[in-house]
């Protein structure tokens, strides 16, 4: 099963803490700045995530043969891993195929507009002919995919949100800036159990092709979009939304899917409320206490990120991180921080 299953690893940085499965804001979602719904439908279902980049991301370099010499025009021109190429000769790019067409348009050089460290700049690169195709020696990406858990659905606005943290580019580690994206159906076949030094992961199969939601944002507080098919998201309970002052140390539960398509409740304990103000988004600490979940997954695993956390009958936030040295422990984000990021 493991060999045939689609393994989606949404891991970005491995430090003392791992951020569970994997942008700057896309187009405005139309949510007002003072968005503060009193009730939301609780999530917990696992979905496939497809993201398309805002431009073309440089992920690496390779040398090319030019008149018997090994050259890399992209690197020589000053391109770096993590650069996002936005336009070629003034024409906006939405995919790698469009950049390839621009390189083969017949000009001796191509003016690339790119974004680096939040700033826009221009670089001129001279492609070389290799095997009948003009190339610059850069490896690139224009999309990514993974799986993660839906946190909530708002039937009043159609908003859906999940993850509680960004999906990052696996090569540069930077937030994957999107032009568009979607949520699709996925079946959870099971999990690789988490253990010390290895957080484990949910294993997804049957990655769907029909969009159930259209995504407009991937940012520090999660992914956000609008539902295009309400059926997958309407089965959860309609719950009150907690303020950031209401979460407290003590028993709670998370809603998550560890097999199949059905979300279940698992017991956890809130061990600390941090009330951070530096944008860290690890707002409280959690510990898994549910024996069934510990038996199935060993604790928090990649793919469970976004699982809603319920305390005193209210949605207080979502699971976001797991501790590398203890998969039974992790962090959560306040639901308030997710709602602020939707606007």
214-265: per-residue pLDDT in tens?
999 999 999 999 999 888 888 889 999 999 899 999 999 999 998 888 899 9
Last residue of a domain, one of 71, 106, 136: 136
d(CA 246, CA 95): 45
The answer to whether residue 209 sits within a structural domain is yes
pLDDT the model gives residue 316: 96
pLDDT value at residue 276: 61
Number of domains in the chain: 2
Regarding whether 305 and 179 lie in a shared domain, the answer is yes
Residue 101 annotated in active site: no
- DSSP β-bridge partners for residue 25: 217
> In this structure, are 41 and 80 located in the same domain?
no
Cα separation, 147 vs 161, in Å, equals: 13
Active site residue 248: no
Over range 183-191, report the average pLDDT: 88
* 1 found inside a domain: no
Give, for 77, the enclosing helix (H) or strand (E).
helix 73-77
77-96 per-position pLDDT tens digit:
999 988 899 998 888 988 88
User: What does the pLDDT average to over 263-271?
Assistant: 95
The residue with greater pLDDT, 76 or 3, is 76
Domain region containing 93: 63-136
Instruction: Give tens-digit pLDDT for 275-327.
Output: 665 556 788 999 999 999 999 998 898 889 999 999 999 999 999 988 888 99
> Residue 172: pLDDT above 80?
no
Asked whether residue 72 carries a pLDDT value surpassing 70, the answer given is yes
**Do 296 and 219 have their domain in common?**
yes
For residue 278, the model assigns a pLDDT of 54
Per annotation, catalytic residue among 113, 182, 221, 305: 305
The answer to the question of residue 9 being in a domain is no
Is 12 a domain residue? no
Same domain? 105 vs 165: no
Residues 264 and 323 in one domain: yes
Catalytic-role residue among 23, 83, 290, 321:
290
Separation CA 73–CA 161 (nearest Å): 41
Of all residues in the chain, the percent with pLDDT exceeding 90 is: 41
pLDDT tens digit sequence for 115-163: 888 889 999 999 988 878 889 889 888 888 888 999 999 999 999 999 9
Of the residues 165, 169, 185, 221, only one is catalytic, namely: 165
Are residues 155 and 255 located together in one domain of the fold?
yes
- Residue 8 in domain: no
> Residues 152, 188: one domain?
yes
Residue 174 located in a structural domain: yes
Gap between the Cα atoms of 188 and 27, Å rounded:
30
Average pLDDT, the chain: 84
| Domain end point (choices 101, 136, 171) | 136
Q: What is the CATH number of the domain that holds 82?
A: 2.30.42.10
Q: Judge if 171 and 75 occupy the same domain.
A: no
Q: How confident is the model at residue 106 (pLDDT cuts 50, 70, 90)?
A: low
CATH number at residue 181: 2.40.10.120
- Based on the fold, state whether residues 203 and 233 are members of the same structural domain: yes
Are residues 176 and 121 part of one domain?
Answer: no
Residue 286 in any domain: the answer is yes
Supply the DSSP string of 256-287, one letter for each residue.
Answer: E-SSBT--EEEEEEEEEE----SS----EEEE
On whether both 313 and 282 belong to a single domain, the answer is: yes
83 part of the active site: no
Q: Which of 85, 106, 136 is the last residue of a domain?
A: 136
The rounded distance, in Å, linking the Cα atoms of 296 and 105 is 55
* β pairing state of 119-125 and 84-88: unpaired
Confidence class for position 24, pLDDT limits 50, 70, 90: very low
Is the model's pLDDT at 202 over the cut of 50?
yes
Whether residue 1 has pLDDT greater than 50: no
Domain assignment of residue 35, yes or no: yes
The predicted structure's pLDDT at residue 4 = 39
Of 60-64, 161-165, 173-177, 218-222, the least confident? 173-177
For residues 112 and 175, state if they share a domain. no
């Amino acid at each position: 099963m493991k060999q045939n299953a689609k393994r989606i690893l949404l891991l970005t940085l491995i430090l003392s803490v791992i951020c569970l499965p994997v942008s700057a804001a896309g187009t405005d979602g139309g949510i007002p700045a003072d968005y503060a719904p009193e009730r939301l439908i609780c999530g917990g279902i696992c979905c496939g995530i497809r993201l398309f980049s805002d431009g073309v991301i440089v992920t690496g370099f390779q040398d090319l043969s030019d008149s018997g010499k090994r050259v890399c025009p992209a690197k020589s021109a000053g391109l770096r891993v993590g650069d996002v190429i936005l336009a070629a000769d003034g024409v906006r790019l939405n995919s790698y195929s469009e950049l390839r067409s621009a390189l083969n348009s017949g000009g001796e050089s191509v003016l690339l507009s790119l974004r680096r460290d939040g700033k826009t700049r221009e670089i001129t690169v001279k492609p070389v002919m290799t095997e009948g195709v003009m190339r610059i020696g850069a490896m690139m990406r224009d999309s990514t995919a993974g799986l993660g858990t839906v946190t909530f659905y708002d039937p009043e606005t159609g908003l859906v949100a999940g993850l509680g943290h960004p999906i990052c580019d696996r090569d540069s580690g930077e937030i994957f800036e999107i032009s568009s994206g979607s949520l699709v159906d996925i079946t959870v076949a099971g999990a690789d159990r988490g253990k010390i030094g290895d957080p484990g992961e949910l294993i997804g199969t049957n990655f769907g092709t029909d969009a159930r939601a259209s995504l407009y944002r991937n940012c520090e507080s999660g992914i956000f979009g609008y539902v295009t098919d309400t059926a997958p998201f309407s089965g959860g309970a309609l719950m009150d939304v907690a303020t950031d002052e209401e979460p407290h140390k003590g028993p709670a539960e998370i809603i998550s899917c560890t097999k199949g398509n059905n979300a279940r409740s698992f017991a956890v304990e809130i061990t600390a409320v941090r009330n951070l103000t530096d944008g860290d988004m690890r707002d409280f600490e959690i510990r898994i206490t549910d024996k069934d979940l510990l038996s199935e997954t060993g604790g928090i695993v990649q793919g469970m990120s976004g699982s809603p956390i319920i305390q005193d009958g209210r949605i207080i936030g979502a699971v976001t991180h797991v501790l590398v040295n203890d998969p039974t422990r992790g962090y959560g984000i306040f639901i308030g921080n997710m709602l602020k990021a939707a606007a």
